[in-house]
Amino acid sequence: MTSRAALVSLLILLTASGSGLAQAGGSGSAGGSAGRASHDGRLYDAGIGRSERAASAPEALSEMAAFVGDWDLEQDVRRPGKEPLVSRGIAKVTFMNRGHALMERARIGDFDGQGHAMATMAFLAVNPNGVWTVGEGNSWTESIMLASGGFVGGKLVLHDSIRPGGGPTLVLLRRTYSTSQRSAFEMTLEKSDDVGESWSPLMIRRYRRRAPSPDFFPVGDGIGVPAADRPAEAAQFDFLLGEHEASHWLKRPDRELRWRSNATAVHVLDGHGILEFDWHDKDPSLPDAATSILRLYNRSMRRWESLYLANRGNSPLHFGGVQEGERIVLHPFDAQTGSNPLSQWIFFDIQQKSYRWKGLQSRDRGATFEPTWTIDFVRKSIDYGLAP
């Protein structure tokens, strides 16, 4: 099963569930475990505190600025012939990447009627060509999805497709954001089994704005705390945690570039994922450069999944890989040996106070790889093992 199919398979499982109406908490409540203290670490991105997009961000980003704020959340999973499976939680939407995109953090209690909680983190962006994308990581499925599209009739409509279980059936997915007032939003997830001829709802998320509060959806001051039930392999990337100084070398066709940046990483998704945030002010064409990367270990697929978003092009990348000996080797998920170039991204020489990364490309079907980008990371502090 592809990772993009994981959430849909979960929703189909809930659709077939015999559980009755599951309501975690009352009206306006965070619900169940959704309101508990967070495992998440400090969010270093200054964009999170912004009230409007950055001046150099795409103007179209303002079309979703009303989504920014604190929300009570109701999730409604549709089940043919049965009562909907309803759960409640909370969501916080902020700017990210120094004001060039939007981030949604959500936590839902008892989402399956069996007492389990789920956390999600989504990056919502629009690139210079007007293409909107959303990438979302899910603590329960331990996977990342990515959809793209644009505004249709005043609604933001994004599409994806999967083949559940790796079988022959093609399922189209449609995610629609709609609003009729600043105090309420809806996100509807639908599927089509007939190439878009008809659509049926899988899930509806209803957002109701709540009064701003400084202690809403809190995070820690340090790196956060890993979830007690995360797989052992999820610790493979813990060397990222904390603050590092990063020294870059980038090979361009006409020149080589060198610069330094600030690199940070903390636990997110209630301790199930890691969020990297890197920023610098060295590029005259983009003085507020920033990059965010969400990483999740998918124990079902036995691989790492990553969601990358830089504010240079605001076009995300979903990729991943595995640990190979003392290295972690990542690559695009759609890579084919016959395509040129082939790309790899490798973490290596991992020490207590430092680690290294290199981006490689091959134009001979993987026989040889040449470095195009390298980064040396040196830890600013080794006091990173403390709970926030």
Dihedrals φ, ψ of 236, to 5°? -60, -30
Query: Rounded to an integer, what distance in angstroms lies between the CA atom of residue 359 and that of residue 165?
Result: 32
Instruction: Report helix, strand or coil for 333.
Output: coil
Query: Rounded to an integer, what distance in angstroms lies between the CA atom of residue 147 and that of residue 159?
Result: 5
- For 77-109, what is each residue's pLDDT tens digit? 988 888 889 999 999 999 999 999 999 999 999
The reported pTM is 0.90
Query: Rounded to an integer, what distance in angstroms lies between the CA atom of residue 94 and that of residue 50?
Result: 8
pLDDT at 25 over 50: no
Query: Rounded to an integer, what distance in angstroms lies between the CA atom of residue 81 and that of residue 368?
Result: 57
Domains and CATH numbers, the chain: 4-209 (2.40.128.20), 232-379 (2.40.128.20)
Identify the weakest region by mean pLDDT among 16-20, 107-111, 161-165, 314-318: 16-20
Q: Which residue has the tokens 């709802």?
A: 201
- For 312-352, what is each residue's pLDDT tens digit? 999 999 999 999 999 999 999 987 787 778 999 999 999 99
Cis amide prior to 388 (ω within 30 degrees) = no
What pLDDT shows up at residue 287? 85
Burial of 139 (0-12, 13-18, 19+ CB in 10 A): buried
